[in-house]
A and B are shown apart, each in its own frame.
Chain A
Amino acid sequence: MKYRSELELVAVPLWNGKPLYQSYLIAKSDRDASRLSDLRGDIHAFSDPDSNSGYLVTVALVNENGFGRETFFKKTLFTYSHRNVIRAVASGLVQSGSVDGYVWEVMREIDPDLVARTKIVRKSEWFGFPPIATSKRFAQTDQIKALKRALLASSDTDAGRAMLDYLRLSGFAVADTSLFDLVSQKIESLRGVL
Protein backbone atom coordinates (compact mmCIF):
# COMPACT_ATOMS: atom_id res chain seq x y z
CA MET A 1 0.00 0.00 0.00
CA LYS A 2 3.00 2.18 0.57
CA TYR A 3 3.67 2.37 -3.19
CA ARG A 4 0.07 2.26 -4.31
CA SER A 5 0.36 5.26 -6.62
CA GLU A 6 3.27 3.71 -8.50
CA LEU A 7 1.74 0.31 -9.03
CA GLU A 8 -1.01 -1.20 -11.13
CA LEU A 9 -2.90 -4.40 -10.39
CA VAL A 10 -2.28 -7.37 -12.66
CA ALA A 11 -4.51 -9.97 -10.99
CA VAL A 12 -5.85 -10.98 -7.60
CA PRO A 13 -5.66 -14.60 -6.40
CA LEU A 14 -8.92 -16.28 -5.62
CA TRP A 15 -8.91 -18.34 -2.45
CA ASN A 16 -11.95 -20.48 -1.96
CA GLY A 17 -13.40 -18.60 -4.95
CA LYS A 18 -12.96 -15.18 -3.37
CA PRO A 19 -10.20 -12.60 -3.63
CA LEU A 20 -10.21 -12.26 0.16
CA TYR A 21 -8.21 -13.45 3.15
CA GLN A 22 -8.00 -12.87 6.90
CA SER A 23 -5.43 -12.33 9.58
CA TYR A 24 -5.41 -14.87 12.43
CA LEU A 25 -4.36 -14.34 15.99
CA ILE A 26 -3.03 -17.74 17.07
CA ALA A 27 -1.90 -19.28 20.34
CA LYS A 28 -0.85 -22.75 21.62
CA SER A 29 -3.67 -25.23 21.07
CA ASP A 30 -3.83 -26.18 24.75
CA ARG A 31 -4.19 -22.60 25.89
CA ASP A 32 -7.43 -21.16 27.24
CA ALA A 33 -7.64 -18.00 25.10
CA SER A 34 -10.50 -16.78 22.89
CA ARG A 35 -10.10 -13.02 22.60
CA LEU A 36 -7.42 -10.44 22.25
CA SER A 37 -7.45 -9.48 25.91
CA ASP A 38 -6.50 -13.06 26.80
CA LEU A 39 -3.20 -12.43 25.07
CA ARG A 40 -2.16 -9.56 27.32
CA GLY A 41 1.42 -9.93 28.60
CA ASP A 42 2.38 -12.46 25.90
CA ILE A 43 5.55 -12.60 23.97
CA HIS A 44 3.98 -12.12 20.56
CA ALA A 45 5.39 -13.06 17.18
CA PHE A 46 4.73 -10.97 14.09
CA SER A 47 5.75 -12.10 10.68
CA ASP A 48 7.01 -8.90 9.10
CA PRO A 49 6.65 -5.17 9.79
CA ASP A 50 5.45 -4.71 6.18
CA SER A 51 2.81 -7.45 6.44
CA ASN A 52 -0.86 -6.54 6.71
CA SER A 53 -2.11 -9.80 8.18
CA GLY A 54 1.10 -10.58 10.07
CA TYR A 55 1.53 -7.22 11.76
CA LEU A 56 -0.70 -4.33 10.77
CA VAL A 57 -4.06 -5.91 11.59
CA THR A 58 -2.99 -6.94 15.13
CA VAL A 59 -1.36 -3.58 15.90
CA ALA A 60 -4.52 -1.82 14.69
CA LEU A 61 -6.70 -4.15 16.75
CA VAL A 62 -4.66 -3.45 19.91
CA ASN A 63 -4.92 0.22 19.15
CA GLU A 64 -8.66 0.10 18.44
CA ASN A 65 -9.25 -1.66 21.76
CA GLY A 66 -7.46 1.08 23.56
CA PHE A 67 -4.54 -1.03 24.68
CA GLY A 68 -1.09 0.47 24.63
CA ARG A 69 0.76 -0.90 21.63
CA GLU A 70 4.06 -0.96 23.50
CA THR A 71 2.75 -2.38 26.74
CA PHE A 72 -0.02 -4.79 25.76
CA PHE A 73 2.45 -7.49 24.90
CA LYS A 74 5.40 -8.29 27.11
CA LYS A 75 7.56 -8.42 24.04
CA THR A 76 7.06 -8.61 20.29
CA LEU A 77 9.40 -10.05 17.73
CA PHE A 78 9.52 -10.56 13.98
CA THR A 79 10.13 -13.95 12.43
CA TYR A 80 10.02 -12.58 8.85
CA SER A 81 7.81 -15.46 7.73
CA HIS A 82 4.23 -16.52 8.41
CA ARG A 83 5.41 -20.10 8.67
CA ASN A 84 7.95 -19.09 11.31
CA VAL A 85 5.18 -17.40 13.31
CA ILE A 86 3.39 -20.75 13.40
CA ARG A 87 6.67 -22.50 14.39
CA ALA A 88 7.36 -19.96 17.12
CA VAL A 89 3.89 -20.37 18.62
CA ALA A 90 3.82 -24.15 18.21
CA SER A 91 7.18 -24.57 19.92
CA GLY A 92 6.29 -22.34 22.85
CA LEU A 93 9.02 -19.81 22.11
CA VAL A 94 6.26 -17.21 22.06
CA GLN A 95 2.78 -17.41 23.50
CA SER A 96 0.90 -15.96 20.53
CA GLY A 97 1.37 -14.73 17.00
CA SER A 98 -0.18 -12.89 14.07
CA VAL A 99 -0.33 -14.91 10.90
CA ASP A 100 -1.84 -14.80 7.44
CA GLY A 101 -5.04 -16.87 7.53
CA TYR A 102 -4.36 -18.24 4.04
CA VAL A 103 -0.87 -19.45 5.09
CA TRP A 104 -2.22 -21.01 8.32
CA GLU A 105 -4.93 -22.89 6.40
CA VAL A 106 -2.52 -24.08 3.71
CA MET A 107 0.03 -25.11 6.36
CA ARG A 108 -2.65 -27.11 8.07
CA GLU A 109 -2.76 -29.29 4.97
CA ILE A 110 0.97 -29.40 4.37
CA ASP A 111 2.22 -29.74 7.96
CA PRO A 112 -0.78 -30.75 10.05
CA ASP A 113 1.31 -31.78 13.09
CA LEU A 114 2.85 -28.34 13.37
CA VAL A 115 -0.38 -26.44 12.89
CA ALA A 116 -2.29 -28.75 15.22
CA ARG A 117 -0.18 -27.40 18.07
CA THR A 118 -1.71 -23.96 17.48
CA LYS A 119 -5.25 -22.66 17.58
CA ILE A 120 -7.03 -19.58 16.25
CA VAL A 121 -7.86 -17.06 18.96
CA ARG A 122 -9.40 -14.52 16.64
CA LYS A 123 -10.05 -14.13 12.94
CA SER A 124 -9.95 -10.62 11.51
CA GLU A 125 -12.34 -9.09 9.02
CA TRP A 126 -11.86 -10.00 5.36
CA PHE A 127 -9.18 -8.10 3.42
CA GLY A 128 -8.35 -8.07 -0.25
CA PHE A 129 -5.96 -10.94 -1.00
CA PRO A 130 -2.41 -9.68 -1.58
CA PRO A 131 -2.45 -9.07 -5.38
CA ILE A 132 0.02 -9.42 -8.17
CA ALA A 133 0.97 -5.89 -9.17
CA THR A 134 3.40 -4.27 -11.53
CA SER A 135 5.01 -0.92 -11.98
CA LYS A 136 2.80 1.37 -13.94
CA ARG A 137 5.62 1.86 -16.39
CA PHE A 138 5.50 -1.80 -17.42
CA ALA A 139 1.75 -2.32 -17.15
CA GLN A 140 1.10 -2.13 -20.88
CA THR A 141 4.05 -4.21 -21.98
CA ASP A 142 3.46 -7.44 -23.85
CA GLN A 143 5.08 -9.45 -21.08
CA ILE A 144 2.75 -8.11 -18.38
CA LYS A 145 -0.23 -8.54 -20.66
CA ALA A 146 0.83 -12.10 -21.38
CA LEU A 147 1.32 -12.72 -17.67
CA LYS A 148 -2.13 -11.32 -16.91
CA ARG A 149 -3.73 -13.52 -19.57
CA ALA A 150 -1.91 -16.56 -18.29
CA LEU A 151 -2.96 -15.94 -14.70
CA LEU A 152 -6.57 -15.26 -15.55
CA ALA A 153 -6.72 -18.38 -17.72
CA SER A 154 -4.71 -20.57 -15.37
CA SER A 155 -7.69 -22.75 -14.51
CA ASP A 156 -8.06 -23.64 -18.19
CA THR A 157 -4.76 -25.41 -18.62
CA ASP A 158 -3.15 -28.40 -16.90
CA ALA A 159 -0.06 -26.44 -16.01
CA GLY A 160 -2.21 -23.66 -14.65
CA ARG A 161 -4.32 -26.03 -12.60
CA ALA A 162 -1.21 -27.69 -11.23
CA MET A 163 0.05 -24.30 -10.16
CA LEU A 164 -3.26 -23.41 -8.57
CA ASP A 165 -3.43 -26.76 -6.78
CA TYR A 166 0.10 -26.25 -5.48
CA LEU A 167 -0.84 -22.81 -4.15
CA ARG A 168 -4.23 -24.01 -2.92
CA LEU A 169 -5.88 -21.21 -4.98
CA SER A 170 -8.97 -21.47 -7.11
CA GLY A 171 -7.85 -18.98 -9.75
CA PHE A 172 -7.04 -15.38 -10.53
CA ALA A 173 -9.37 -12.51 -11.22
CA VAL A 174 -9.30 -8.88 -12.19
CA ALA A 175 -10.15 -6.64 -9.27
CA ASP A 176 -10.55 -3.02 -8.50
CA THR A 177 -8.17 -1.28 -6.13
CA SER A 178 -11.13 -0.56 -3.90
CA LEU A 179 -10.75 -4.17 -2.78
CA PHE A 180 -7.87 -2.98 -0.65
CA ASP A 181 -9.52 0.06 0.88
CA LEU A 182 -9.87 -1.68 4.24
CA VAL A 183 -6.13 -2.20 4.36
CA SER A 184 -5.67 1.47 3.57
CA GLN A 185 -8.02 2.38 6.36
CA LYS A 186 -6.01 0.29 8.82
CA ILE A 187 -2.82 2.01 7.79
CA GLU A 188 -4.54 5.34 8.05
CA SER A 189 -5.84 4.55 11.52
CA LEU A 190 -2.34 3.89 12.67
CA ARG A 191 -0.82 7.01 11.20
CA GLY A 192 1.11 8.68 13.92
CA VAL A 193 1.14 5.51 15.96
CA LEU A 194 3.54 3.44 13.94
Chain B
Amino acid sequence: MSELNEYVLSEELKEAIKIAEITKRPLLIKGEPGTGKTLLANFYANQNNLPLFRWHVKSTTLAKDGLYFYDALTRLNDSRFGDQSGRDVNNIKDYIRMEAMGQAFSFDGPCVLLIDEIDKADIEFPNDLLLELDRMEFSITETGEVIKAKERPIVFITSNSEKELPDAFLRRCVFHYISFPDQNMMKDIVKAHYPEVDKSLLENALSMFYQIRDINELRKKPSTSELIDWINMLLHQGANLKGTKEIPFIGTLLKSEEDLSKFK
Protein backbone atom coordinates (compact mmCIF):
# COMPACT_ATOMS: atom_id res chain seq x y z
CA MET B 1 0.00 0.00 0.00
CA SER B 2 1.51 3.26 -1.05
CA GLU B 3 -0.14 5.26 1.67
CA LEU B 4 1.80 3.36 4.29
CA ASN B 5 5.16 4.32 2.89
CA GLU B 6 4.10 7.87 3.46
CA TYR B 7 3.48 7.48 7.14
CA VAL B 8 5.94 9.53 9.18
CA LEU B 9 6.52 8.14 12.64
CA SER B 10 7.65 10.59 15.29
CA GLU B 11 10.37 9.63 17.77
CA GLU B 12 7.94 9.94 20.65
CA LEU B 13 5.50 7.58 19.07
CA LYS B 14 8.25 5.09 18.33
CA GLU B 15 9.16 5.12 21.99
CA ALA B 16 5.55 4.57 23.00
CA ILE B 17 5.24 1.58 20.69
CA LYS B 18 8.40 0.13 22.13
CA ILE B 19 6.98 0.46 25.62
CA ALA B 20 3.80 -1.25 24.56
CA GLU B 21 5.89 -4.09 23.18
CA ILE B 22 7.83 -4.46 26.41
CA THR B 23 4.92 -4.18 28.82
CA LYS B 24 2.63 -6.17 26.50
CA ARG B 25 -0.06 -3.67 27.24
CA PRO B 26 -2.42 -2.12 24.71
CA LEU B 27 -1.30 1.22 23.35
CA LEU B 28 -4.06 3.78 23.66
CA ILE B 29 -3.73 6.56 21.12
CA LYS B 30 -5.55 9.85 21.22
CA GLY B 31 -5.10 12.95 19.18
CA GLU B 32 -6.86 15.41 16.95
CA PRO B 33 -8.82 13.86 14.10
CA GLY B 34 -6.63 13.40 11.05
CA THR B 35 -3.35 12.86 12.87
CA GLY B 36 -3.11 9.27 11.69
CA LYS B 37 -4.24 7.32 14.72
CA THR B 38 -5.88 4.51 12.79
CA LEU B 39 -3.20 4.41 10.12
CA LEU B 40 -0.58 3.69 12.74
CA ALA B 41 -1.77 0.12 13.27
CA ASN B 42 -1.72 -0.49 9.52
CA PHE B 43 1.73 0.97 9.30
CA TYR B 44 3.05 -1.04 12.20
CA ALA B 45 1.61 -4.31 10.93
CA ASN B 46 2.93 -3.65 7.47
CA GLN B 47 6.39 -2.70 8.64
CA ASN B 48 6.77 -5.77 10.80
CA ASN B 49 5.03 -8.07 8.37
CA LEU B 50 2.37 -9.04 10.86
CA PRO B 51 -1.26 -9.80 10.17
CA LEU B 52 -3.64 -7.09 11.32
CA PHE B 53 -7.08 -7.70 12.78
CA ARG B 54 -9.35 -4.67 12.78
CA TRP B 55 -12.29 -4.03 15.01
CA HIS B 56 -14.17 -0.87 14.24
CA VAL B 57 -16.33 0.06 17.20
CA LYS B 58 -19.75 1.58 16.65
CA SER B 59 -22.24 3.11 19.03
CA THR B 60 -24.14 -0.16 19.23
CA THR B 61 -21.11 -2.40 19.59
CA LEU B 62 -21.02 -4.71 22.61
CA ALA B 63 -17.85 -6.21 24.04
CA LYS B 64 -18.92 -9.68 22.96
CA ASP B 65 -19.21 -8.57 19.33
CA GLY B 66 -15.46 -8.43 18.97
CA LEU B 67 -14.89 -11.92 20.29
CA TYR B 68 -17.10 -14.32 18.40
CA PHE B 69 -20.49 -14.75 16.81
CA TYR B 70 -22.76 -17.73 17.22
CA ASP B 71 -24.77 -18.10 14.06
CA ALA B 72 -27.89 -19.68 15.51
CA LEU B 73 -29.99 -18.74 12.54
CA THR B 74 -27.94 -20.70 10.02
CA ARG B 75 -27.93 -23.64 12.38
CA LEU B 76 -31.67 -23.48 12.71
CA ASN B 77 -31.98 -23.33 8.96
CA ASP B 78 -29.59 -26.24 8.47
CA SER B 79 -31.45 -28.35 10.99
CA ARG B 80 -34.70 -27.73 9.18
CA PHE B 81 -33.74 -27.95 5.56
CA GLY B 82 -30.57 -29.99 5.69
CA ASP B 83 -27.39 -28.51 4.39
CA GLN B 84 -25.08 -29.00 1.50
CA SER B 85 -22.33 -26.91 2.97
CA GLY B 86 -20.57 -29.58 4.96
CA ARG B 87 -21.56 -28.04 8.27
CA ASP B 88 -22.57 -30.50 10.94
CA VAL B 89 -25.74 -29.42 12.69
CA ASN B 90 -24.81 -31.46 15.72
CA ASN B 91 -21.49 -29.73 16.02
CA ILE B 92 -22.04 -26.31 17.50
CA LYS B 93 -18.47 -25.33 16.65
CA ASP B 94 -19.40 -25.23 12.98
CA TYR B 95 -21.61 -22.27 13.74
CA ILE B 96 -19.19 -20.22 15.77
CA ARG B 97 -17.38 -17.54 13.88
CA MET B 98 -14.46 -15.63 15.33
CA GLU B 99 -14.55 -11.85 15.19
CA ALA B 100 -11.51 -9.57 15.14
CA MET B 101 -10.43 -10.02 18.75
CA GLY B 102 -11.14 -13.73 18.68
CA GLN B 103 -9.19 -14.09 15.46
CA ALA B 104 -6.22 -12.27 16.94
CA PHE B 105 -6.25 -14.39 20.09
CA SER B 106 -6.50 -17.64 18.20
CA PHE B 107 -3.88 -16.66 15.64
CA ASP B 108 -0.77 -18.79 15.77
CA GLY B 109 2.09 -16.35 16.20
CA PRO B 110 2.52 -12.63 16.71
CA CYS B 111 -0.12 -10.34 15.26
CA VAL B 112 -1.60 -6.87 15.57
CA LEU B 113 -5.07 -6.01 16.82
CA LEU B 114 -6.65 -2.63 16.22
CA ILE B 115 -9.65 -1.53 18.28
CA ASP B 116 -10.68 1.59 16.46
CA GLU B 117 -12.58 4.47 18.10
CA ILE B 118 -13.30 2.73 21.35
CA ASP B 119 -15.04 5.82 22.71
CA LYS B 120 -17.87 5.46 20.20
CA ALA B 121 -19.48 2.64 22.15
CA ASP B 122 -21.38 2.74 25.41
CA ILE B 123 -19.64 4.22 28.42
CA GLU B 124 -19.27 0.81 30.07
CA PHE B 125 -17.91 -0.89 26.98
CA PRO B 126 -14.19 -0.62 27.84
CA ASN B 127 -14.88 -2.09 31.29
CA ASP B 128 -16.38 -5.15 29.67
CA LEU B 129 -13.11 -5.78 27.89
CA LEU B 130 -10.84 -5.56 30.93
CA LEU B 131 -10.43 -9.25 31.53
CA GLU B 132 -10.02 -10.07 27.86
CA LEU B 133 -7.32 -7.44 27.42
CA ASP B 134 -5.59 -8.36 30.64
CA ARG B 135 -5.35 -12.07 30.12
CA MET B 136 -5.78 -12.13 26.37
CA GLU B 137 -8.27 -14.93 26.68
CA PHE B 138 -12.01 -15.54 26.71
CA SER B 139 -14.34 -18.48 26.74
CA ILE B 140 -17.07 -19.31 24.29
CA THR B 141 -20.25 -19.69 26.32
CA GLU B 142 -21.87 -22.05 23.83
CA THR B 143 -19.08 -24.61 23.80
CA GLY B 144 -17.13 -23.85 26.95
CA GLU B 145 -14.01 -23.64 24.86
CA VAL B 146 -11.34 -21.21 26.05
CA ILE B 147 -9.56 -19.13 23.47
CA LYS B 148 -6.21 -17.95 24.77
CA ALA B 149 -3.57 -16.06 22.88
CA LYS B 150 -0.34 -18.03 22.68
CA GLU B 151 1.53 -14.87 22.03
CA ARG B 152 0.05 -11.61 23.26
CA PRO B 153 -0.88 -9.57 20.21
CA ILE B 154 0.20 -5.95 19.99
CA VAL B 155 -3.01 -4.03 20.58
CA PHE B 156 -3.62 -0.53 19.30
CA ILE B 157 -6.66 1.31 20.62
CA THR B 158 -7.71 4.67 19.24
CA SER B 159 -10.03 7.18 20.83
CA ASN B 160 -11.37 10.57 19.83
CA SER B 161 -12.14 11.52 23.42
CA GLU B 162 -15.86 11.66 22.79
CA LYS B 163 -16.37 9.95 26.09
CA GLU B 164 -14.20 9.59 29.13
CA LEU B 165 -12.66 6.17 29.43
CA PRO B 166 -12.93 4.39 32.78
CA ASP B 167 -9.89 4.49 35.06
CA ALA B 168 -9.65 0.73 35.44
CA PHE B 169 -9.34 0.47 31.70
CA LEU B 170 -6.78 3.26 31.46
CA ARG B 171 -4.57 1.66 34.09
CA ARG B 172 -4.08 -1.27 31.75
CA CYS B 173 -2.93 0.79 28.81
CA VAL B 174 0.11 2.63 27.66
CA PHE B 175 -0.97 6.04 26.49
CA HIS B 176 0.26 8.34 23.79
CA TYR B 177 -1.21 11.59 22.63
CA ILE B 178 -0.34 12.44 19.05
CA SER B 179 0.15 16.16 19.20
CA PHE B 180 -0.35 18.14 16.07
CA PRO B 181 2.85 18.06 14.00
CA ASP B 182 4.99 21.18 14.03
CA GLN B 183 6.10 22.82 10.80
CA ASN B 184 9.23 20.73 10.37
CA MET B 185 7.49 17.46 10.99
CA MET B 186 4.71 18.58 8.68
CA LYS B 187 7.23 19.28 5.95
CA ASP B 188 8.45 15.70 6.22
CA ILE B 189 4.91 14.42 6.09
CA VAL B 190 4.03 16.41 2.98
CA LYS B 191 7.30 15.43 1.31
CA ALA B 192 6.58 11.79 2.03
CA HIS B 193 3.33 12.18 0.14
CA TYR B 194 4.52 14.49 -2.63
CA PRO B 195 8.28 14.23 -3.04
CA GLU B 196 8.13 16.50 -6.09
CA VAL B 197 6.52 19.44 -4.32
CA ASP B 198 8.18 22.79 -4.97
CA LYS B 199 10.00 24.21 -1.97
CA SER B 200 8.55 27.69 -2.05
CA LEU B 201 5.05 26.38 -2.63
CA LEU B 202 5.43 24.15 0.38
CA GLU B 203 6.70 27.00 2.56
CA ASN B 204 3.84 29.25 1.53
CA ALA B 205 1.24 26.57 1.88
CA LEU B 206 2.43 25.61 5.33
CA SER B 207 2.57 29.15 6.61
CA MET B 208 -0.97 29.73 5.36
CA PHE B 209 -2.09 26.47 6.86
CA TYR B 210 -0.69 27.23 10.29
CA GLN B 211 -2.14 30.71 10.15
CA ILE B 212 -5.57 29.24 9.60
CA ARG B 213 -5.03 26.82 12.43
CA ASP B 214 -4.12 29.68 14.73
CA ILE B 215 -7.60 31.12 14.43
CA ASN B 216 -9.20 30.04 17.65
CA GLU B 217 -12.79 30.62 16.67
CA LEU B 218 -12.79 27.89 14.05
CA ARG B 219 -15.25 25.13 14.73
CA LYS B 220 -13.00 22.55 13.21
CA LYS B 221 -9.37 23.28 12.57
CA PRO B 222 -7.98 21.73 9.40
CA SER B 223 -5.86 18.66 10.07
CA THR B 224 -3.02 16.86 8.36
CA SER B 225 -5.26 14.91 6.04
CA GLU B 226 -6.93 18.13 4.90
CA LEU B 227 -3.56 19.74 4.28
CA ILE B 228 -2.51 16.77 2.15
CA ASP B 229 -5.71 17.06 0.11
CA TRP B 230 -5.20 20.77 -0.27
CA ILE B 231 -1.62 20.44 -1.46
CA ASN B 232 -2.72 17.76 -3.88
CA MET B 233 -5.28 20.23 -5.18
CA LEU B 234 -2.71 23.02 -5.49
CA LEU B 235 -0.32 20.75 -7.36
CA HIS B 236 -3.03 19.65 -9.73
CA GLN B 237 -4.12 23.17 -10.51
CA GLY B 238 -0.57 24.47 -10.68
CA ALA B 239 -1.23 27.20 -8.16
CA ASN B 240 1.89 28.72 -6.68
CA LEU B 241 0.46 30.87 -3.88
CA LYS B 242 2.84 33.68 -4.73
CA GLY B 243 1.47 37.00 -3.66
CA THR B 244 -2.04 35.66 -3.36
CA LYS B 245 -4.07 37.07 -0.58
CA GLU B 246 -6.99 34.81 -1.06
CA ILE B 247 -6.62 31.20 -0.19
CA PRO B 248 -7.43 29.04 -3.20
CA PHE B 249 -9.60 25.94 -2.75
CA ILE B 250 -10.25 26.79 0.86
CA GLY B 251 -13.14 24.34 0.79
CA THR B 252 -10.68 21.48 1.09
CA LEU B 253 -9.35 22.91 4.34
CA LEU B 254 -12.49 24.11 6.03
CA LYS B 255 -15.56 21.95 6.01
CA SER B 256 -18.14 23.89 7.94
CA GLU B 257 -20.08 26.75 6.47
CA GLU B 258 -19.57 28.86 9.54
CA ASP B 259 -15.81 28.58 9.27
CA LEU B 260 -15.86 29.30 5.56
CA SER B 261 -17.86 32.45 6.05
CA LYS B 262 -15.05 33.87 8.16
CA PHE B 263 -12.93 33.96 5.03
CA LYS B 264 -15.42 35.63 2.77
A is bound by B: no
B→A interface (CB under 8 Å): none
A→B interface (CB under 8 Å): none
